[in-house]
Structure formats: C-alpha cells, structure tokens
Amino acid sequence: MTTPSSTTILSTSSSSPSTASSTSSPFDGVTPPPHLPRFPIGKVDAFIEGGASCVSVPDRTLAVFKNNGILYAIDNRCYHSGGPLTEGDIEDYGGTLSVRCPWHSYHIALETGEGLYLSIDGHVKSKGVKQRTHRIEIEGNDVYVYVSSPESTGSKLASDHYEPKDEEERKRMGLGARLPLPDNMKPQT
C-alpha cells in the first residue's frame, strides 16, 4: 500500500450553498479493496452541495462532486479530450446522475464512470466504462478516497491517458507542481 505524500483540495466551485444535513458515499457499507491506497482529502463541510472540488492526490487529479449529500470521485480530466470535469454541470441524464464535460458536452455517469450518449431511438445508452472512479469513505467529519489506477485494477481506462506520469509531465501539461499536504490532512500513524 502506498503511503500518502500529498493531498490538496485545489479548488471548490458551486452555484448554491450546502443544504444537505448528512453526507454519504455510494459505497457506504461496502468494504473497499485492500490493495487501493487511501488518502485524506478534506472535511465533509469542505465539499459544497451541488458543487465540484478539484483534489490532488499522488499521481492523480480528481473531481469530487457532492449531490444530494453524496460524494462521488472520478478522474478530473474527461476521457474524450481532457476537459476539466470540475467545470462541468451535474445533470440527470436519462435517469443517471452524470457530469457534462464543459468542452464537448460528453456525459459521464458519476457512480460508474460510464460514457453516456443519446441513441437514435431517443434512449440514453452506455459506451462502457471510460472514466476512472474512486471510492469515497467518510469517517466522522473526515473524507478519504481510495485511489484506483491501472496498476491497482489491472486495466487501463480512457481517462488514464490524461493523468501525468511524473512532475516533468505535469509541467508539460501546464498543471504546475503538486502542493504540499497541510498539517491537518497528513496521514495518521
């Protein structure tokens, strides 16, 4: 298991203040895979209802969405062309909670990472899993993420293409250096 070296909430955006009284995850009550690294990503109150937060963890940049008191984490860069999903809109798309990429309006299911499209017959259908999702866990007021990767799952997804491999590649992609982990978010030993 990887030891967390840096986790930082980079930005939070929302059109409305928080209205949820409790926060959960779609994985509540499900035991996480033991081989996934777990990182602290903030306090429950840091995530705004109806908003998106860009969270940096070692080797990945995540989009964390809060909708109806539930937190979802996916890779921040859209599988199609690398658009920043934290700038996208959360929508009900054919009965599936999704984020619409701000660049090309691709819809991605928040819970599963499936690419969604409107078929010729007028029904929303899946292109299959395209976007990497990450399990959120809440303990008290602390939020943690179990980070999935091609190495941990044995399979590569389309969104993996837009994750920088190292600090040099981060600079080439214009992402800048990772920020240091604040003292109140350092892993407990």
The proportion of the chain whose per-residue pLDDT surpasses 90, expressed as a percent, equals: 56
How confident is the model at residue 23, as a pLDDT? Answer: 60
Confidence of residue 177 (pLDDT cuts 50, 70, 90): low
pTM over 0.85: no
Average pLDDT score, the chain: 79
**Two tokens, residue 127:** 């292109």
How confident is the model at residue 94, as a pLDDT? Answer: 94
Burial level of 73, CB count in 10 A (0-12/13-18/19+)? buried
Summarize the confidence of residues 2-15 as an average pLDDT: 37
Higher pLDDT, 42 or 24: 42
> Which range (13-17, 64-68, 145-149, 150-154) has the least confidence?
13-17
Host H or E run for residue 151: helix 150-153
Helix and strand numbers, DSSP H then E, in the chain? 2, 12
Confidence of residue 59 (pLDDT cuts 50, 70, 90): confident
